[in-house]
A and B are shown apart, each in its own frame.
Chain A
Amino acid sequence: MNQPDLIMGAVAYAPKVVTIWEGFKTWFQKRGLQFDYVLYSNYEAQVEAQFNGSIHLAWNSPLAWVRADRIARSLGQSVQAVAMRDTDRDLRSVIVTRADSPVQSIADLQDRTLGVGAIDSPQATLIPLHHLRSAEVVDGRDFQVRRFDALGGKHGDHIGGERDAALALLRGEIDAACMIDGNLLAFGLDGTLPAGSTRVISQTRPYDHCNFTTSPDAPAYAISQFVDLLLSMRWDDPKVRPLLELEGLKQWLPGRTSGYAALERAVDEDNFYGPDGSIRNAEYRY
């Protein structure tokens, strides 16, 4: 390949990431876009690479989007969310307890222990804790938090933390656990949470998940070519369907930023990032 038209960053949260992006790379190249990708071990390095000219575009977690947007604004620049999966829209997180637990509502969490996911997980930590604070149920003051950290810097992409919290809930080590709605269903179907063993006591408002975030000086034509090709991918194309299945979507949609407000507030409440995108959480390791 000659000099690529577009270099994208992605975080290697699982081995399948290589399969996915090697497959998409070939697919893009056959359609005239000289595309390449760079893998990062964590979203923080990836977002920083968006501002040092290393990559034109990043496949970002919602938290990485928040950080990229903050850095850009503080520099007088801008980044755009140009595309996302159909499955990135309108997600909800839930707080579950054991079916036989005396905890009937979030008010009953008083002096109890809530299991959350990784420190940087929007869906299993940041957004649910913000959701509780909005109802005046505050972590550290009203209840204890036990974190189920898995793979720091991956922003909760690895579901191990949520699964560990669910198992600890069943073992009675914690009184409630946070997870995304899709994992509540998945844990029910795979037997991690046997049917009837848990009860949902609260759920968040819908929010959005990942997006493709452009870097400030991204080449406009290549970005537009990338987005057009992405949106043209069809589930009934057997060459691309396995990649879409691995990435967990049926179709790519245009990006939108209307679903990140709760996370923005959570980041501020937690002082996870500063207004300029600096990392403020001293316990965060990645």
Chain B
Amino acid sequence: MDPTAASATPSIDTEALGLDEGALLLVRRALAQVPVGGNLLARGRAPNWELHLTAWCRQQGHAIQTSALSDGVCEAIVTRGPWAEGRWRDALTAGQSQLPAPSAKPEWGLAARGATVEAGSPAFNFTLSNRDELWATTADEIYAQGVAAQWDPQTAIDWDTPFEIDPEIEAAVVQVMTFLVENENAALIVPARHLGQLHPHYREVQQVLALQCADEARHVEVFTRRLGMRGRQPMLSTAGGQASLRTLLQAPDFSSATFLLSVLGEGTFVNLLSFLHEYGPDPVTRQICRLAARDEARHVAFGMAHLKYRLSVEPDYLARLQNAIEQRHEALAPTSGLNEEVFDALILIAAGSLTPAAIARGYAAVQRLKLDMAAGRKSRLLHLGFPADQAQRLADLHTRNFM
């Protein structure tokens, strides 16, 4: 059924295949080889072939002359109309497939990077459409790592492993899980908001953020499941904790939000989850915290990669990051910080019992945790280019609520 070039007029024989069974594809492709105004000799013997081809040509603006041959075979001379080309006049090219453009045009819309976009396509007002404001050179690698590291809560966690636990310790675990869920909710909503504003031209970043949302959704699930494992209800959520998380939703731009959430907040959470992995009183708590910490570390890596990119093209942005920390600190100054119940629960989890000796060990472990958290924040700030004294000061201004 290939068009033949043997005669002066290209031809296509669709044989017994109906135009409503796929033969239109063959006719379209054969016609595409003919110049505008040129003729295609089409032949077919499917039922209604002539009726269908005539109706289709009328709709498409191709002239047609038909004639019936013997044995139910019909023939038609189709003269190609100019309309198919007209659709692509003044079409836009949505950047280059392998290279994100410095800025993405609203008219590129949802098209794949590098696609040809029909003129007159609707403009989409994605507010995050400048590469410098959102890019990370390793976004594609971080996405690939994230995809490879996805885990299924149902099979990755030994939910049915039996364990004994003191009711006081169980209550401490439930309080910490309650705290973790509200923090993960914030960590889900912040990238989800950016995702809806991000021009899809920057697909690697879009993919990272989408995966980040999926990660956080999974974390909310496993912390919620652990919380209710022994029939308990969620415990306390403080105004100060929620006020702290709300400031993440109010960050003025993508870079500042990523800085506060991923570099500082989730970075701090990696320490917290590692602590719970180490001291968790039961195998489920230890497993879910280990897996969640691994995900959070990837989010930190993306945050760092993005900010390093942004600072490489806009070194003065460092001052904006400093302002972001200071403003958040001032906004949270009147709040109470980490709730005492969470603080005590962490001590109790690390202590393992309520004896003074055990509590002393637990208290010391939580003090070490706080020092580790601050050291981690300082290290990342140094890595971004803050001078040492400033890095120390800013690391200490981070919210007492950890995230």
Contacts and interface: CB of A to CB of B under 8 A. Distances in A.
User: A and B, one complex?
Assistant: yes
Contacts of A250: 60-61, 81, 83
Interface stretch (B44-52, B221-229, B327-335): B44-52
Nearest to A181: B55
Interface in A236-258: 236, 238-239, 241-242, 248, 250-251
B355 interface: no
A91 B58 CA distance: 9
B252 interface: no
6 contacts: A184-B52, A235-B61, A235-B82, A238-B90, A241-B87, A250-B61
A182 B55 contact: yes
Contact of B51 (A86, A181, A189, A248): A181
Most chain B beta-carbon neighbours within 10 Å: one of A90, A91, A184, A235: A235
Given A200-B48, A250-B81, A185 B56 contact: yes
A209 to B, nearest CB: 11
A91 B20 CA distance: 19
Interface in B1-25: 18-21, 24
Interface string B35-78: 00000000000011001101110111100000000000000000
Contacts of A91: 58
Given A86-B58, A87-B58, A235-B83, A185 B89 contact: no
B55 A184 contact: yes
A105 to B, nearest CB: 15
Please classify how large the interface on chain B is, using the bins under 10, 10 to 19, 20 to 34, 35 or more.
Answer: 20 to 34
A241 B58 contact: no
A174 interface: no
B344 interface: no
A251 B63 CA distance: 13
Interface residues of A, number: 29
Nearest to B119: A238
A199 B46 CA distance: 11
Contacts of A203: 51
Contact of B20 (A182, A185, A234): A185
Contacts of B82: 235
Nearest to A241: B120
A245 to B, nearest CB: 10
B231 interface: no
A107 to B, nearest CB: 20
B86 interface: yes
